Amino acid sequence: MNRTLVIVKPDAVERGLVGEVLARLERRQLRLVAAELRLIDLATARRHYAEHEGKPFIEGVIALLTRSPALVAIVEGPGETWKVVRAMIGATNPAEAAPGTIRGDLAVDMSQNVIHGSDSAESAQREIAIFFPHLA
């Protein structure tokens, strides 16, 4: 079994979409290993999005992720779980995300795109260590 990190972002928690997003993942037969509603602090958000430091959109992304509680979770499945989750999430820009994907069905705005999923097995390992050090 392989694990990946998922964050149901504050915009989605505010809209009451936690159940909808988790239900989609669970219906796909991905199992929840850990899940916690928490206010992500600035330092943790910056560490999480370290690859984007210096890019023009970074401050907006950090502000979004820290503005209200997010649902941080680890999901587990057979095969390349990170890849399955990314396919379910859809394109970064919800306006371009295919219908049937989480962003393609639930979002339209790049800065409020509902969910984060790790983008590689290495990212999954790194991000799980950030948010759930006891499970890394």
Sign of the four-CA dihedral 18, 107, 28, 51: negative
Shortest distance (Å) from residue 118 CB to ligand ATP: 8
Query: Of ligand ATP, Mg ion, none, which one sits near residue 81, judging by CB under 5 to 8 A according to partner kind?
Result: none
Instruction: Name which of 103, 105, 81, 83 is nearest 92 in CA terms.
Output: 103
Residue 52 annotated among the catalytic residues of the structure: no
Shortest distance (Å) from residue 110 CB to ligand ATP: 5
Shortest distance (Å) from residue 86 CB to Mg ion: 9
d(CA 95, CA 8): 18
Contact region with ligand ATP (CB under 6 A), list: 19-27, 33-41, 77-85, 109-117: 109-117
Q: Which two tokens stand for residue 129?
A: 């260590």
Q: Which are the catalytic amino acids?
A: 116
